[in-house]
Amino acid sequence: MSFVVPADWKSWAPAPEGSHFPIQNLPFGKFVDPETGLDELGVRIGEQVLALRPLADSGMLEFDADLAFDLGSLSEALGGTLSELRKTLAELLREDCPDLRDHQKLREEALLPCKGLEMVLPAFVHGFVDFYSGIHHATNVGKMFRPDQPPLLPNYRHLPVAYSGRASSVIVSGEAIKRPKGQFKLPGEEAPDYRPTRELDFELEMGFFVGKSSNLGEPVPIEDAEKHVLGLALVNDWSARDIQRWEYQPLGPFLAKSFGTSVSPWVVTLDALEPFRIEGAKQDPEPLPHLRSPGPSHFDIHLEIALQTKSMSRPQTISRSNTRHLYWSLAQQVAHMTSNGANLEPGDLCASGTISGPEPGSLGSMLEIAWKGEKPVVLEETGESRSFLEDGDTVIFTGWAERGALKVGFGELRASVFSSE
């Protein structure tokens, strides 16, 4: 059973006004314990992390902390969901609950300041799938590269287009991205060469981690799809456009994408996002029966992209978007990718595809924002311009859902680019 923390609950562990991490959120993550150097699981509350191991060792939580070494193994041990655990944690953190609040020794051991804490990937990523569910992004790319044809290919409105990416190069926020080298051919050249990409780009995406496995050969019905979702995280699926342009036909992205995928450290559960559930855009034609959602399956999550160069003292917001612009929902993505009998494993990561909106200020990649380099972005503080990313640039994604005084967010996804030389 899911559990939505009531909007009027307060915590004795305070969250600053406007925080992404009130008691109504309680996202899960994995961090390096500063005392032992070991990776540990915790939940975020305000500017602190509540470590799960001390609570499990004390008997306040019922799971084996030695077996639950990441979110994938934890969810598997708990039957594929974090709902009951999150409910217990919310009750322990509630302002009128004395169990942990008044247990000074345990509280000091379990509650750690976020500042300076090293975060690591929340789960071991067995597999990575990148969807193409942002219809405005797909339309823009079609207009750029197939100007004499309809921007969307015939299959787009019938199924969630996707490809299988490389799981081993998924990294957590804060880790730098090395500019990839690859083979591509410049205009006017007779033959391709191997060199660093000149068109390094970001892609604003929302990802989800799988929490519950499925059996090989057994499709997941769409009405059960969300039962397999552990939670959501921001994703930057980096792209080298020049390498991709040379290699992608006929099989699609390969080296242009496999060099790195960045993920935010905090996994926000569907329970926390339930108050922000919405209907998606009308799908026309109506999907086939196995892809028809039984109810509202999209979420109203605000997204922002900021860029900071080496010369800038502060980042500049260059785009604002929203997950409501996705054509295909995560439930439809799960149903589609298992419809042939492919199985899910706890820790699998799936990304939405680039989330662009319909307006110029809501685009999710530099390819679109600068429109193939024809309209470079001018950075106000320094007057620098960018068509694609340069060495030393830092890209920052943020995301949050908001309704009245309630705010549930993801924090930041941040990564800097460094030279391949």
Residues in the chain: 421
As a whole number of angstroms, the distance between CA 343 and CA 31 comes to: 29
Picking from 82, 33, 68, 37, the residue whose alpha carbon sits closest to that of residue 208 is 82
Per-residue confidence (pLDDT) for residue 261, from 0 to 100: 98
Same domain for 218 and 146, yes or no, is yes
Picking from 10, 36, 26, the residue whose alpha carbon sits closest to that of residue 272 is 26
Per-residue confidence (pLDDT) for residue 29, from 0 to 100: 98
Domain assignment present for residue 230? The answer is yes
Contacts of 373 (CB under 8 A, 6+ apart): 387, 388
Last residue of a domain, one of 88, 120, 152: 120
Q: Mean pLDDT, 10 residues at a time, over the chain (421 residues)?
A: 93 95 98 95 98 96 88 91 95 97 96 96 97 98 94 97 97 98 94 97 98 97 97 98 94 94 98 97 96 96 98 98 98 98 97 97 98 96 98 98 96 95 76
Picking from 131, 119, 189, the residue whose alpha carbon sits closest to that of residue 159 is 131
As a whole number of angstroms, the distance between CA 251 and CA 409 comes to: 36
Picking from 176, 172, 179, 193, the residue whose alpha carbon sits closest to that of residue 390 is 179
Structure letter (DSSP) for residue 341: S
Contacts of 145 (CB under 8 A, 6+ apart): none
Domain assignment present for residue 378? The answer is yes
Same domain for 168 and 87, yes or no, is no
Domain assignment present for residue 223? The answer is yes
Same domain for 161 and 58, yes or no, is no
Per-residue confidence (pLDDT) for residue 79, from 0 to 100: 85
Domain assignment present for residue 2? The answer is no
Q: Which residues does residue 134 pair with via DSSP β-bridges, in sequence order?
A: 326
Last residue of a domain, one of 120, 145, 176: 120
Domain total of the chain: 2
Per-residue confidence (pLDDT) for residue 64, from 0 to 100: 86
Residue 173's domain is classified under what CATH number? Answer: 3.90.850.10
Per-residue confidence (pLDDT) for residue 358, from 0 to 100: 97
Same domain for 295 and 376, yes or no, is yes
Residue at token pair 């007779």:
190
Same domain for 92 and 239, yes or no, is no
> Residues 128, 258, 384, 391: what is their CA dihedral angle, to the nearest 10 degrees?
120
Put simply, whether the predicted model's pTM sits higher than 0.95 gets the answer yes
- Name the strand (E) or helix (H) holding 282: none
Same domain for 134 and 283, yes or no, is yes
As a whole number of angstroms, the distance between CA 171 and CA 259 comes to: 10
Same domain for 103 and 153, yes or no, is no
Last residue of a domain, one of 120, 152, 187: 120
Per-residue confidence (pLDDT) for residue 80, from 0 to 100: 85
As a whole number of angstroms, the distance between CA 237 and CA 99 comes to: 42
Residue 75's domain is classified under what CATH number? Answer: 2.30.30.230
- What are the structure tokens assigned to 94, written together? 């509630």
Residue at token pair 């070991």:
38
Domain assignment present for residue 18? The answer is no
Domain assignment present for residue 4? The answer is no
Domain assignment present for residue 70? The answer is yes
As a whole number of angstroms, the distance between CA 235 and CA 260 comes to: 11
As a whole number of angstroms, the distance between CA 409 and CA 401 comes to: 6
Q: Are the CB atoms for 416 and 179 separated by under 8 Å?
A: no
Same domain for 79 and 141, yes or no, is no
- Residues catalogued as catalytic: 137
Q: Are the CB atoms for 319 and 339 separated by under 8 Å?
A: no
State the residue range of the domain holding 306. 128-418
Same domain for 116 and 132, yes or no, is no
- Name the strand (E) or helix (H) holding 271: helix 270-273
Domain assignment present for residue 22? The answer is no
Same domain for 160 and 290, yes or no, is yes
Same domain for 73 and 142, yes or no, is no
Per-residue confidence (pLDDT) for residue 258, from 0 to 100: 98
Same domain for 107 and 177, yes or no, is no
The HSE-up count of residue 232 (CA atoms within 13 Å, CB side) is 27
- Whether the bond between 285 and the residue before it is cis, its omega within 30 degrees of 0, is yes
Q: Are the CB atoms for 160 and 138 separated by under 8 Å?
A: no
As a whole number of angstroms, the distance between CA 181 and CA 166 comes to: 17
Q: Which residues does residue 39 pair with via DSSP β-bridges, in sequence order?
A: 32
Picking from 372, 361, 363, 416, the residue whose alpha carbon sits closest to that of residue 390 is 416
Q: Are the CB atoms for 137 and 368 separated by under 8 Å?
A: yes
Q: Which residues does residue 277 pair with via DSSP β-bridges, in sequence order?
A: 299
Question: What does DSSP say about strands 261-263 and 170-172: parallel, antiparallel, or unpaired?
Answer: parallel
